[in-house]
Amino acid sequence: MSTPLILDCDPGHDDALAIMLAAAHPAVDLKAITTVAGNQTLDKTTLNARRVCTLAGITDVPVAAGCDRPLSGVLEIAADVHGESGLDGPVFGPPTVPLAEEHAVDLMHRVLVEGSEPTTIVAVGPLTNVATLLRRHPEDVSRIRELVVMGGSTSRGNHTPYAEFNIYVDPEAAAEVLASGLPITFHGLNVTHQALVTPDVVARFRGMGTQLGEVCAELMTFFASTYRRLWDFPAPPLHDPVAVAYVIDRSVVDCVRAPVRIEVEGAHTRGATVVDLHGRMGWAPNADVGLTLHRDRFWELMTGAVEHLGRA
């Protein structure tokens, strides 16, 4: 039995590999790839999703463009992390995978309505599309098995000292989604920073001897340069595939149930996820929160996906 899944993303280097993992693994039935403004503007994240699908031979999954700005305020992008294209590093040819005519939110709704069982949503960009879906179709909550998010942190942030990028870009969307009653899991920086793309992983991609493996190596080499420059990391963290891997195999990440609140007002902390791991606030737990990554299993899944797609 494979899990029907919608991947909502803003490619993005790590989003690109999340797309590959979701498309390749038989435990997942990837129904749609939806894009949102985040790492770059919507036109660029959407072009990048189509570029990745074209290169990886993912031709049977609709790609639709969604919201081009957060629910309120002005879009902030992460060109300093992902480059001007949003996917700097390798040279991509023009995409042949088409863009769906539907808006991403309409595609999400249709997939949910047409599904014979509830569908999982994995969201690895700002939560604007998901919040918009729930505003327009609150009844869709019952059609969503669970929402697995790459976002937030139990400790510090990255875009600002206390806010992780995906939540920072649209905290109102994150707060609305959290209040919807959906079963939610957050895989934040505290867990995704355990997925460092060390040189041996890059060597594994390159050693596959496929065009896809080479492009993944080039993407990760660019990503490594920005993480070294901006945060002095020894290797870049592969955030987004952690959320997909968790859907494929629960044992990849150990989670706890905890109360989570989104800071939407803080003068210096807007977009922070306040995770009360020790029950200090007396709040009811409302989410699962990833804590520990089982690295070997994660990398087995991730490199296996690139190997599989590269040879197809």
Q: Which of 3, 34, 35, 39 binds ligand BDR (CB under 6 A)?
A: 39
- HSE, CB side, 13 Å, CA atoms: give it for residue 250: 5
Separation CA 39–CA 162 (nearest Å): 18
Cβ neighbours, 10 Å, residue 162 = 20
| CB closer to ligand BDR, 56 vs 81 | 81
Instruction: State yes or no: residue 129 binds ligand BDR (CB under 6 A).
Output: no
- Report if residue 166 touches ligand BDR, rule: CB under 6 A: yes
Q: Which of 240, 263, 288, 307 binds ligand BDR (CB under 6 A)?
A: 240
Q: Burial code of 71-81, b = ≥16 C-beta within 10 A, e = fewer?
A: beeebbbbbeb
Other beta carbons less than 10 A from residue 169's beta carbon? 29
Smallest CA-to-CA distance from 30 within 11, 3, 67, 68 is with 3
CA atoms within 13 A on the CB side of 53: 28
Q: How far is the CB of 60 from Ca ion (least distance, A)?
A: 23
In the residue annotation, 294 being an active-site residue is answered as no
Count residues contacting ligand BDR (CB under 6 A)?
Answer: 15
The residue to which tokens 């997925």 are assigned: 195
Least Å distance, CB 83 to ligand BDR, is: 11
List of residues contacting Ca ion (CB under 5 A): 10, 12, 15, 124-125, 240
Catalytic, out of 82, 239, 268, 308: 239
Nearer to ligand BDR, 53 or 109 (CB): 53
Name the site residues for ligand BDR (rule: CB under 6 A).
12, 14-15, 39, 78, 81, 124-125, 150, 158, 164-166, 239-240
Q: Which residues are catalytic?
A: 239
